[in-house]
Amino acid sequence: MKKTNRALMGIILAAGMLLGACGSGEEMIKKQDVQVNAASDSLYVKQVEGLPEDFIMGMDASSVPSLEASGVRFYSFDGEEQDVFLTMAQAGINTIRVRVWNDPFDEAGNGYGGGNCTIDTALEIGKRATAYGMGLLVDFHYSDFWADPAKQMVPKAWEGMDIESKSEAVYEYTRGALKKLKDAGVEVRMVQVGNETNGAMCGETRWFEIQYLMQAGSKAVREIYPDALVAVHFANPEKGDAYLTYAEKLDYYQVDYDVFGSSYYPYWHGTLENLASVLQQISTTYGKKVMVLETSYAYTAEDTDFNGNTIGDGGTIVKNYPFTVQGQANSVRDVIETVNSIGGIGVCYWEGTWISVGQNSWEENSQKWEAFGSGWASSYAASYDPEDAGKYYGGCAVDNQAMFGPDGHPLESLKVFGLAASGSVTDLRADAIQDTTLYVDINGTLELPTTVSAIFSDDSRKEIPVTWNLDKAGEEVMFASGVGTYPVTGEAGGLEAMLYVALIEYNFLENYSFENMELDPWVTRDAGGADELYVEDKVTDSLTGTGHMHFWSSKTDSVNFDLEQTVGDLPAGTYKFTMSIMGGDAGESNIYLYAVINGEITATMPMVITSYGNWDTQTIRDITVEEGQSLTVGIHVECRGEGNGAWGKIDDALLNSQ
Ligand code: CA
């Protein structure tokens, strides 16, 4: 598969479009011959084998007109100001996706934001895409603003309509909108009837109504663009059999569609293996084409437009690739490979062009977001969506997932679309260094790691040498500051490395809280027994965790045992031993902690049991161990209880250096 073939195909498609436009006598879109030239000196792209030339390499670029109105300028890979759609075509994008809202404006004509995308936006974008030989993917939300799994609000003008009228409205609207594009000669290759319609669409929440509206949209597409594919679109492939249920419903109602599309955001949407499995199941069972209609990945954790981002460092998100330009490309490349591996028809990136409208201040950007709709939502959206947009309106939350930098220059990752088929072999380099956390006993010594784990440009992982910026004085300050976590920077493979030194009171005992749910390496010495003496899994009876040592005896004067652990290879030093016990009905008792060195008891500490929930915690201090000596620590429990005998729980043994 050669890159030139893809470029050639673009020319042929463009020529075909010319004929079509001439034939209908409509306004002609001036075509430009675009050469795909994605060669890169720095980007590594592992070849996706068997990638067909007509594989859809899509980019949602819905925000571009609003960004340009806000003053944003885009550049070519050579650094010249250039139409961003041409740059994308040159990078190997062959399809441009655009969202369409019915009426994203308030009564005074102020835009809700998110690009204020209407069919007129799609018209402008469609003309530019067509001019560079790219097809248009029209994404009807059938709403006046964002439609996703969380909300599918009905357009203002359709509120209160019964399902018959609403269906008619969907049909007429879709027909009229597409006719506009058709008349202008826009090359529409796919149309989505709904966006992320997970069990809701256009204000309807039952499948009978949803499918009815989808049918109406599909019918209009077939009439205006008979060669275009009709797509349905869902999100959350990770949720069990949800996709299969949707596909069953669509099949049951015989909805006329070609493509079952999924969103796939790697942070939330499960593994690629799962994605492949659920999509393949649908293509096999129902004979539908499948694809990813939205994906994206962060190239940096930094925000660039003074409006916080959805994805950053921290939190509980899944981060399979580093947040670098190369990591972003690797993520997209792997989605392409996954979709292709199951015979899927394409992958569309979401909003790779949505960048900051300015570098100066939030105030300056905010004025642009309000005036041109170039943020995710403006304050004017409050009249339609008071709970979400009305409260949290502002700028772009995905600018760190764009494929253009904040200055409008394309990132090398954009070339992944043009390079996936052929691959791009560049010198492997460390692309990111994984943070290291080192747990160190506060009374021990610090041994800094000599290597760190590096992620290379081909996404392989390897240990490489590191140097840390920590001298003896810095180390002393750290230890003097006490228990806590201390960041240390370093250098590895030309990149910054981060080490977090966690100074802790190291516990030399194993299974210290009985969470293994077994005794080992503790031992009991039974000196008179107990009816019950075992490790118990019961959170309400544990000091921490769910496991603890339990004892009970029905008989008088029958609880008498030792519970202990021996620690070999202890560094010479001074230690303290702590343990906790609770229980009752002990009668006259003899309970104590003990420390044994080389077979001789060197210290004890008395304890008591009183009643349920009253833990007694005691510590033996100043246990001095010399080189080569073995230390045994434990608890002796002896109760001369009357009647039902004694019972109790033992938990959390700590042997710390002192
Ligand atoms: Ca932002």
Tens digits of residue pLDDT in 443-455: 888 999 999 999 9
Say which amino acid occupies 460.
S
Instruction: Report how far ligand 1's centroid is from the alpha carbon of 267 (Å).
Output: 17
**Whole-prediction pTM value?**
0.81
User: Quick one: pLDDT band at residue 622, thresholds 50, 70, 90?
Assistant: very high
Please check whether residue 276 is in contact with residue 338, taking contact to mean a CB–CB distance below 8 angstroms. Answer: yes
Query: Which is the catalytic residue, given 196, 337, 412, 564?
Result: 196
Instruction: Report how far ligand 1's centroid is from the alpha carbon of 625 (Å).
Output: 57
Instruction: Report how far ligand 1's centroid is from the alpha carbon of 426 (Å).
Output: 31
From its phi and psi, is residue 115 left (phi > 0), alpha (psi between -120 and 50) or beta? left
pLDDT of 11 reads 42
Instruction: Report how far ligand 1's centroid is from the alpha carbon of 380 (Å).
Output: 19
Give the span between the Cα atoms of 481 and 493, in whole angstroms.
31
To the query of whether residue 302 is one of the catalytic residues in this protein, the response is: no
Q: Helix, strand or coil for residue 597?
A: strand
pLDDT of 555 reads 77
* Ramachandran angles phi, psi of 156, nearest 5°: -50, -45
What average pLDDT does this structure show over 134-161? 98
Tens digits of residue pLDDT in 493-503: 999 999 999 99
Query: Which is the catalytic residue, given 294, 337, 351, 412?
Result: 294
- Among 356-370, 409-423, 510-524, 629-643, which stretch is predicted with the lowest mean pLDDT? 629-643
Element (H, E) at 339: helix 325-341
What's the chain's average pLDDT? 93
pLDDT at 16 over 60: no
Q: HSE (CB half, 13 Å, CA atoms) of 232?
A: 27
pLDDT of 84 reads 98
To the query of whether residue 294 is one of the catalytic residues in this protein, the response is: yes
pLDDT at 2 over 60: no
Number of CB atoms found within 10 A of residue 387's CB = 9
Instruction: Report how far ligand 1's centroid is from the alpha carbon of 67 (Å).
Output: 14
pLDDT of 543 reads 94
What average pLDDT does this structure show over 360-381? 98
Three-class secondary structure assignment of 218-267: HHHHHHHCCCCEEEEEECCCCCCCHHHHHHHHHHHCCCCCCEEEEEECCC
Instruction: Report how far ligand 1's centroid is from the alpha carbon of 394 (Å).
Output: 9
Tens digits of residue pLDDT in 211-239: 999 999 999 999 999 999 999 999 999 99
Say which amino acid occupies 42.
S
